[in-house]
Amino acid sequence: MLNRRDFLRCQIGAGTLMAFGATVPGFLASTARADDKQNQEKILVVVELTGGNDGLNTVIPYADDLYHKARPKLHYEKRDVLVLSDHVGFHPSLRPLKELYDQGQVAVVQGVGYPNPNRSHFESMDIWQSADPSRKIADGWLGRSLNFVKAPDGRMPAIHVAQRPVPLALRGSPTAVPTIHPNKPLELVLGGPNAAPGGDLDRESSGPLVRTEKDNAASERRKLIDKLAEVTSPSAGSMLQFVRRTSLDTYTTLDRLQTILGDFKTPEGQPEFTGGQFRYAREGLGYELNLVARLIEADFGARLYYVALDGFDTHGNQKGSHAELLSKLAGAVQEFFSILEQSQDASRVVLLTYSEFGRRVNENGSQGTDHGSGSNLLVVGPSVKGGVVGDHPSLKADDLTAGDLKFHTDFRRVYSTLLDQWLGCDSGRVLGGQFEHLKLLT
């Protein structure tokens, strides 16, 4: 018997099978799925590490005495790091990522940055997200890429999963980018406590989704609300137009999300994944990446997903908190790809991590680190060419800039590689210039 997910796949990929509705035999569905996978669009997932990740204690130059001197309290010995090469190794908390690395699925790009580094969180984050160190461009590189990177059938091309506003990186897109709150209801409540718009999804049926009209008044009112958001008037200022567009996009997204995520069990009003085959955290990066995996698996259609992990601004007592953050990151990424492996989607997904800056080479007096520059980032996925890319920047005093690492790889080279070679769009039109590709993909 087809389950609902299988059916959704057929419905979206192999249109001809749709006519068979609930009676499509399992072997046909799986054939349809295999065909689908070959033709499906590639996806980029971006994980923002907010606050300035300490790159030096993420990819650790354990073989360099200067590292141990600069970090008397915060350093890790060779016996503790997860060795990647005879010079660098992962922080001990990154074991799950080390496993992926050993399978050739992680590229560690070292010495990434931009000239005249800005040490303000907000300015540097804006630079990374706009991809413009001169600060003249006011929208985001991912948002701009959506002028060229298309989702099938006019579906939402990008999704932001978070409890916070859409980041600059996703702005500048021809359509608004919806945000999905990871643990809030995804329905508009218009009637009594249980009446969803247009009635509830009929969860008993294993066939095509059936909407039962439990509350006609609510569905009528929903139509009125849509209409009132569509009303245009010549005098409407740009702010009103913005709210109208956001409202309409929201209503459209709601309907689609309800179709895809409708079989979440919500015992306490909180979405929960079913099936028992995955472990699910209730919040945080792991939970958010699970939601992303679920959307990818169900062919939501988006090409870009954006999530964030906050807390990297480790000015004081950094050792424990930094280890915990890296552990969250590594666990979430491993779990994410293991879900996608099972659904045969992993090879069409690449995940990129980045942070606004690294931190000062010398630790400060509070057993923490202040804002620095020049750091590393990770590119993960079965389609990635694994390994360490570029040398670790020198820690010699003469080679530092105001106590910070010198970058040798412009961050836009990473972007241009992913735009051209992965998302298949002309990076020059997104970044406003050509940047030499890195060898990141197989």
Partner 1 sequence: MIQTLTQIDPQEAWQPAPDKKWDLKWAAHLYRRAAFGVPPRRGEAEREATSWELIQRAIEQGRDAMIEELLVGGPGQDAFDKLLDGLGQRFASSDEQLDKLQGWWLYRMVHTPHPLREQMTLFWHNHFATSVSKVRRLSSMLGQNQLLRGHALGRFRPLLLAMVGDPAMLVWLDGVNSVKGQPNENFARELFELFSLGVGNYTETDIQEAARALTGWRLDGDRAVFAADRHDDGQKTVFGQRGNWRDSDIVRIVLEQPAMGRFLARALFRQFISEVESPPDGLLEPLAEELRKSDYDIAGCVRTILRSQIFYSEQAWRTRVKGPVDYVVGLLRRLDASVPVEVLATSMDGIGQSLFAPPNVKGWEGGRAWLNSATLVSRHNLAWRLVGGQDPEFSSRVDLTRIVNKHGADEPAALVEFLLNLLLDGDVSEESRKLLVDFANKDPGNKDEPKRLAELVHTILVMPEYQLA
Tell me the window of 62-70, 99-107, 116-124, 322-330 that interacts with partner 1 (CB under 8 A).
116-124
> Shortest gap between Cβ of 364 and partner 1 (angstroms)?
6
Regarding 154 and contact with partner 1 (CB under 8 A), the answer is no
281-293 burial: b if 16+ Cβ within 10 Å, else e: beeebbbbbbbbb
Q: Which of 1, 22, 240, 397 binds partner 1 (CB under 8 A)?
A: 240
Token pair for 378: 């990770």
**CA-to-CA distance for 247 and 249, rounded, in angstroms?**
6
Tell me the window of 101-109, 221-229, 289-297, 421-429 that interacts with partner 1 (CB under 8 A).
221-229
376-396 burial: b if 16+ Cβ within 10 Å, else e: bbbbbbbbbebebbbebbbbe
Q: Contact at 8 Å (CB) between 419 and 396?
A: no
Angle (nearest 5°) at CA 152 between 413 and 137: 35
Token pair for 324: 């915990």
Q: Which of 103, 163, 205, 266 binds partner 1 (CB under 8 A)?
A: 163
Regarding 73 and contact with partner 1 (CB under 8 A), the answer is no
196-221 burial: b if 16+ Cβ within 10 Å, else e: bbbbbbeeeeebebebeeebeebbee
Q: Which of 175, 247, 338, 394 binds partner 1 (CB under 8 A)?
A: 247
Regarding 39 and contact with partner 1 (CB under 8 A), the answer is no
> Shortest gap between Cβ of 370 and partner 1 (angstroms)?
5
DSSP 265: B
Handedness of CA 375, 381, 383, 386 (dihedral sign): positive
> Shortest gap between Cβ of 332 and partner 1 (angstroms)?
20
Specify the residue, 370 or 420, whose C-beta has the smaller distance to partner 1: 370
> Shortest gap between Cβ of 116 and partner 1 (angstroms)?
11
**CA-to-CA distance for 172 and 143, rounded, in angstroms?**
5
Kindly report the backbone phi and psi dihedral angles of residue 94, in degrees, each rounded to the nearest multiple of 5, phi listed first: -95, 25
Binding to partner 1 by CB under 8 A, coded x per residue (else -) over 314-353, reads -xx-------------------------------------
Q: Which of 29, 74, 169, 180 binds partner 1 (CB under 8 A)?
A: 180
Q: Contact at 8 Å (CB) between 339 and 297?
A: yes
Kindly report the backbone phi and psi dihedral angles of residue 85, in degrees, each rounded to the nearest multiple of 5, phi listed first: -155, -175
> Shortest gap between Cβ of 282 and partner 1 (angstroms)?
15
> Shortest gap between Cβ of 291 and partner 1 (angstroms)?
12
- How many CB atoms are closer than 10 A to CB 316? 12
Specify the residue, 89 or 301, whose C-beta has the smaller distance to partner 1: 301
Q: What is the 3-state secondary structure (H, E, C) of 132-188?
A: CCCCCCCCCHHHHHCCCCCCHHHCCCEEEECCCCCCHHHCCCCCCCCEECCCCCCCC
Specify the residue, 344 or 364, whose C-beta has the smaller distance to partner 1: 364
Binding to partner 1 by CB under 8 A, coded x per residue (else -) over 282-311, reads ----------------------------x-
Tell me the window of 77-85, 250-258, 376-384, 392-400 that interacts with partner 1 (CB under 8 A).
250-258
Regarding 160 and contact with partner 1 (CB under 8 A), the answer is yes
Q: Which of 3, 23, 103, 120 binds partner 1 (CB under 8 A)?
A: 120
- Site residue total, partner 1 (CB under 8 A): 60
> Shortest gap between Cβ of 244 and partner 1 (angstroms)?
5
Kindly report the backbone phi and psi dihedral angles of residue 304, in degrees, each rounded to the nearest multiple of 5, phi listed first: -125, 135
Q: Which of 87, 95, 119, 155 binds partner 1 (CB under 8 A)?
A: 119
> Shortest gap between Cβ of 306 and partner 1 (angstroms)?
12
Regarding 211 and contact with partner 1 (CB under 8 A), the answer is no
Regarding 121 and contact with partner 1 (CB under 8 A), the answer is yes
Q: Contact at 8 Å (CB) between 280 and 265?
A: no
**CA-to-CA distance for 28 and 291, rounded, in angstroms?**
27
Residues 353-412 that bind partner 1 (CB under 8 A): 364-366, 368, 370-371, 402
Query: Counting Cβ atoms within 10 Å, is residue 265 exposed (0-12), middle (13-18) or buried (19+)?
Result: exposed
Specify the residue, 180 or 440, whose C-beta has the smaller distance to partner 1: 180
**CA-to-CA distance for 422 and 158, rounded, in angstroms?**
15
Tell me the window of 28-36, 88-96, 114-122, 340-348 that interacts with partner 1 (CB under 8 A).
114-122
The continuous run of DSSP H or E covering 400 comes out as: none
Specify the residue, 405 or 425, whose C-beta has the smaller distance to partner 1: 405
What are the residues binding partner 1 (CB under 8 A)? 50, 119-123, 160, 163-166, 176-181, 184-190, 192-193, 216-217, 220-221, 224-225, 227-229, 231, 233, 237-240, 242-244, 246-247, 249-250, 253-254, 310, 315-316, 364-366, 368, 370-371, 402
